[in-house]
Amino acid sequence: GIQVEQSPPDLILQEGANSTLRCNFSDSVNNLQWFHQNPWGQLINLFYIPSGTKQNGRLSATTVATERYSLLYISSSQTTDSGVYFCAVVNRGGGATNKLIFGTGTLLAVQP
Amino acid sequence: DTGVSQNPRHKITKRGQNVTFRCDPISEHNRLYWYRQTLGQGPEFLTYFQNEAQLEKSRLLSDRFSAERPKGSFSTLEIQRTEQGDSAMYLCASSPRGRGDNNEQYFGPGTRLTVT
């Protein structure tokens, strides 16, 4: 099946710093979503971005589907950005279910 | 719209007991998913409903697990004869009747199960 790898696995930032998280996937995808999982376990939708570039406040994301990767940019990081960031994809050859395959996650800690 | 809701939020049970979780999707979302997340891992797909039809089950879903979605609204996930390995966060997601491949999934807060 499709493999989804995220890097870096862990990241420590000082408040105000910028960062780039990467998601690589091994096959064609129909759907790609970025999530932030807060300390209580809630998955918060950040972007639905199977291709192209989107921006939402201090966050932006770019997916280059032909090269099988996506990037999540966090600018001017805040302590509330801490948590785990997941990339999840729907494999184009995965049938009609549209189930999400999650990456390994990036654990981000923003220090004041 | 209040989003996807799940009940209970936490469940502690003794090994061998049966447990049932409930998920209420976003209204008018016809697609409903169950995932399981263990500590330090990303969520893994368990099963999928389109309306009331269960269309796919992961091999992770042993015969002790059963899921239903009567009338295509809320869904329940039951685990019989729980084992310690069942301890995990159980997440429910729903997505709209999208056009083409539009299938953005929205997750509930999860039910954290602890089997002692």
pLDDT over threshold 70, residue B59: yes
Give residue A98's pLDDT band: very low, low, confident or very high (50, 70, 90).
confident
Q: Verify whether the Cβ–Cβ distance A103 to B42 is below 8 Å.
A: yes
Write the Ramachandran bin of B83: left for phi over 0, alpha for psi from -120 to 50, otherwise beta.
beta
Q: Is B89 on the interface with A (CB under 8 A)?
A: yes
Could you tell me the CA-to-CA distances from A59 to A47, A71, A72, A83, A93 in Å, in that order? 9, 11, 7, 15, 30
Write the Ramachandran bin of B72: left for phi over 0, alpha for psi from -120 to 50, otherwise beta.
left
pLDDT in tens, A69-91: 999 999 999 999 999 999 999 98
Find the CB nearest A33 among B55, B104, B109.
Answer: B104
Find the CB nearest B42 among A42, A50, A105.
Answer: A105
Mean pLDDT, residues A43-59 taken together = 97
DSSP structure class, residue B103: -
Give residue B64's pLDDT band: very low, low, confident or very high (50, 70, 90).
very high
| CA B102 – CA B116 distance, rounded (Å) | 41
Q: Which two tokens stand for residue B1?
A: 């719209």
pLDDT in tens, B17-32: 999 999 999 998 999 9
Q: Is A96 on the interface with B (CB under 8 A)?
A: yes
